[in-house]
Amino acid sequence: MAKKKIMKRSWAEPFKIKVVEPIKMTTREHREKALKVAGYNTFLLKSEDVYIDLLTDSGTNAMSDYQWAGMMLGDEAYAGSKNFYYLWDNVKKYYGMPYFVPTHQGRAAEHIISKILITPGDYVPGNMYFTTTKLHQELAGATFVDVIIDEAHDTENEHPFKGNIDLQKLKDLVKKVGAKKIAYISMAGPVNMAGGQPFSMKNLKAVGKYAKENKIPLWFDATRAVENAYFIKEREKGYGKASIQKILHEMCSYFDGLWVSAKKDLMVNIGGILATKSKKVFQAARNMVVVYEGLHTYGGLAGRDMEAMARGMEEMVDFDTIRARIGQVEYAGKRLEEFGIPFVKPVGGHAIFLDAKKFLSHLKQDLFPAQTLAAEIYADSGVRSMERGIVSAGRNKKTGEHNYPKLELVRLTFPRRVYTQAHIDVTVESIASVYENRKSFKGLRMTYEPKYLRFFQGRFERI
């Protein structure tokens, strides 16, 4: 009998499991009931009714023993906690920004920076959008303009850097409204809503140069910057031998400032960062943080939270850690491909994005195909995912009509260091089973719509 030869050596996680948390396996009947109570919105499910939770990678990470040990060292002083100073040192070290204020999570930093940099009537160009980012820009009076490359809207285009900014689109906007009307350029990497797609260093450099020439501030949503650094290392010429820490540092060097939802890269459960090179912005932020978050040395966080963030930063740049994280997402992609399931290519850093327009091609977009798909995957197996399509895109501010985004996706997001390969296999098989039954789904009708970020609390019923 022919024996198998080793083709390529596998990677494995650079950790072992010390503590386990039991999860509940439920019946179809139980899940149908739970889904109805939740208005067919996976955000409204009780977590105890969920088997494998791929709703988000935000704050759902497993901390290391090093981080947990640090929690015991929390200095819960109201002012000047030592954990704050340690965290600040690490912000300087890993992101290269001299000034920093902590916030309780990412959107709090977005709120503060939008208020500081935006004058009502301004424009904010960005590489696609993120829900909370765009909302805070709009609440501060700006108009958001998408300047991502066209390839980002094509789920099958295998461009290695679909998060890139289209410089021509940016120039056209500046020409139309004038550089003075651009509050700042908002650049995220990887781009969550495009499928976790990175930008290249080459593109960033070009955008940075243009921004400088035109005196437009360039700001970085660095929430998953380490994943972007990993993709640069893997895909961009000249970076193969550079460390993740070095690439991250170079990326940040082109920006005037950045914000981070620490609930992602930093592998903690809560926390946010606002950091900048500008003393003026820093002073304004430090003042505003006391209004909305707490004193500028804790920003809505406990000392122990800041300690866990500082330690998480040291772990996030470890190559084996980030390779195993993205390797798991890539494994899920390979398995889904075996069943011919349509999803965004190439596989992103934090998630697989199923293409609901292709998956449920018989449903029109106003029947909420992605919302339907997320609900049916839950009903099938208890795997929780999230809609990223017409519901997330909200309504047009002026006309009140639905925004009809090109991408109608369901996101399966992988928490860091939480699930095993067997969990991934179970998930893939459930999606394959829903795919086999896809013609039987008729879509959803919206029965309740909140004013802001409707995807969180909107309610639906089956048609």
Decide whether 54 or 174 has the Cβ nearer to ligand F0G. 54
State the CB neighbour count (10 A cutoff) for residue 396. 11
Q: Least distance to ligand F0G from the beta carbon of 212, Å?
A: 24
Single residue of 81, 155, 192, 197 touching ligand F0G by CB under 6 A: 192
Render the burial of 236-251: b for 16+ CB within 10 Å, e for the rest.
beebeebebbebbbbb
The active-site residue out of 388, 411, 416, 454 is 388
State the CB neighbour count (10 A cutoff) for residue 170. 23
137 touching ligand F0G, by CB under 6 A: no
Decide whether 441 or 454 has the Cβ nearer to ligand F0G. 454
Residue 27, classed as helix, strand or coil, is: coil
CA distances (Å), 312 to each of 234, 303, 359, 397, 409, in order?
A: 23, 14, 37, 39, 30
Which pairing describes strands 272-276 and 52-53: parallel, antiparallel, or unpaired? unpaired
The active-site residue out of 31, 107, 224, 264 is 264
Sites for ligand F0G among residues 71-130 (CB under 6 A) = 105-107, 130
Is 169 an annotated catalytic residue? no
Single residue of 26, 56, 83, 90 touching ligand F0G by CB under 6 A: 56
In one letter, which amino acid is 25?
Answer: M
190, 198 in Cβ contact below 8 A? yes
Contacts 24+ apart (CB under 8 A), 209-213: 210/167, 210/170, 210/171, 211/185
Instruction: Print the SS3 string covering 29-91.
Output: HHHHHHHHHCCCCHHHCCHHHCCEECCCCCCCCCCCHHHHHHHCCCCCCCCCCHHHHHHHHHH
Residue with smallest beta-carbon separation from ligand F0G: 106
Binding pattern for the stretch 373-412 against ligand F0G, x by CB under 6 A and - elsewhere: ----------------------------------------
Q: Least distance to ligand F0G from the beta carbon of 109, Å?
A: 8
CA distances (Å), 338 to each of 228, 341, 359, 428, 459, in order?
A: 27, 8, 15, 10, 34
Single residue of 114, 133, 321, 328 touching ligand F0G by CB under 6 A: 133
136 touching ligand F0G, by CB under 6 A: no
The active-site residue out of 53, 221, 265, 355 is 221
272 touching ligand F0G, by CB under 6 A: yes
Token digits of residue 68: 């947990």
The active-site residue out of 231, 359, 455, 460 is 455
What distance in Å separates the CA atoms of residue 86 and residue 81, rounded to the nearest whole number? 9
State the CB neighbour count (10 A cutoff) for residue 66. 12
DSSP of 385-446, one letter per residue? -EEESHHHH-B-TTT-PBP--S--EEEEE--TT---HHHHHHHHHHHHHHHHTGGG---EEE
Q: Least distance to ligand F0G from the beta carbon of 242, Å?
A: 24
Decide whether 263 or 286 has the Cβ nearer to ligand F0G. 263
58 touching ligand F0G, by CB under 6 A: yes
132 touching ligand F0G, by CB under 6 A: yes
255 touching ligand F0G, by CB under 6 A: no
What distance in Å separates the CA atoms of residue 41 and residue 387, rounded to the nearest whole number? 9
Q: Least distance to ligand F0G from the beta carbon of 460, Å?
A: 20
The active-site residue out of 84, 130, 282, 343 is 130
Single residue of 166, 221, 256, 315 touching ligand F0G by CB under 6 A: 221
Is 78 an annotated catalytic residue? yes
CA dihedral sign, ordered 431, 436, 437, 442: positive
Is 131 an annotated catalytic residue? yes
Find, among 280, 295, 311, 247, the residue nearest to 90 by Cα.
311
Single residue of 233, 263, 304, 345 touching ligand F0G by CB under 6 A: 263
Is 221 an annotated catalytic residue? yes
Q: Least distance to ligand F0G from the beta carbon of 4, Å?
A: 39
199 touching ligand F0G, by CB under 6 A: no
Decide whether 112 or 317 has the Cβ nearer to ligand F0G. 112
Number of residues that bind ligand F0G (CB under 6 A): 15
Positions in the binding site for ligand F0G (CB under 6 A) = 56, 58, 105-107, 130, 132-133, 188, 192, 221, 223, 261, 263, 272
Return the active site residues: 78, 130-131, 221, 264, 388, 455
